[in-house]
Amino acid sequence: MRIGLLGTGNVARALAQGWSAAGHDVLLGSRHPEERTDLTLPVAGLKETATHAEVLVNATPGNVSVDLLHSIGAPALAGTLLIDVGVGLTDDYAELSHPNSSLAEHIQEAFPLTHVVKTLCTMDSTAMVSPKELEGSSTVFLSGEDAEAKLTTGLLLADLGWDPSSQLDIGGIVTARGQEHFALLFMGIANGLGSHTFNIKVVGRTSAA
């Protein structure tokens, strides 16, 4: 599958390497691809990356993502599955830039013909692509309106090591705000653990004997 990743930071690079290792054709998208000579993965401009992709991944800072997608244009994104892993934070990382909604909702509203699925934003880049290296199984969430888009996203998550039993569909795109708002608790947990590489597991009540 041709996967285009918007962004060239730690998250985009980790996901690109993970999916490349699984046999996918990956391309990183940058506003200034000519300056990214430090990367071993292929890099192109944003519009070229969107044109290349069967699946597009937003791995850009959440407070600039919508404007960046507008620079690509709605026609280029129409009908495309867009996996959004971004979280919008203020410059000091103290507050959410979408405190009463979510980045994913804003993207879906701005691009109604694009199939947006929110996932992977509740963990760091290491856990995203190496879930089996954590101590025990954990949970990855999916939010979105399109069932087929979620199915494809789930298959791509499996390629990163996320067993179907670890994937939890929590509903429509409005539920993405729960995933993104976890960022504040994530930072607290990271401070308590002294590490950003961890994840959570949803555990239900045991059946009555």
pLDDT value at residue 180: 97
pLDDT tens digits for 191-205? 999 999 999 999 999
pLDDT tens digits for 97-143? 999 999 999 999 999 999 999 999 999 999 999 999 999 999 999 99
CATH code assigned at 73: 3.40.50.720
Q: Is 26 contained in some domain?
A: yes
Q: Is 209 contained in some domain?
A: no
Q: Which residues span the domain enclosing 30?
A: 2-193
DSSP 86-146: ---B-TTSSSBSSTTS-HHHHHHHH-TTSEEEEESTTS-HHHHH-GGGSSS---EEEEES-
Q: Is 139 contained in some domain?
A: yes
Whether residue 37 is predicted with pLDDT greater than 90 in this model: the reply is no
Q: Is 204 contained in some domain?
A: no
pLDDT tens digits for 154-175? 999 999 999 999 999 999 999 9
Number of domains in the chain: 1
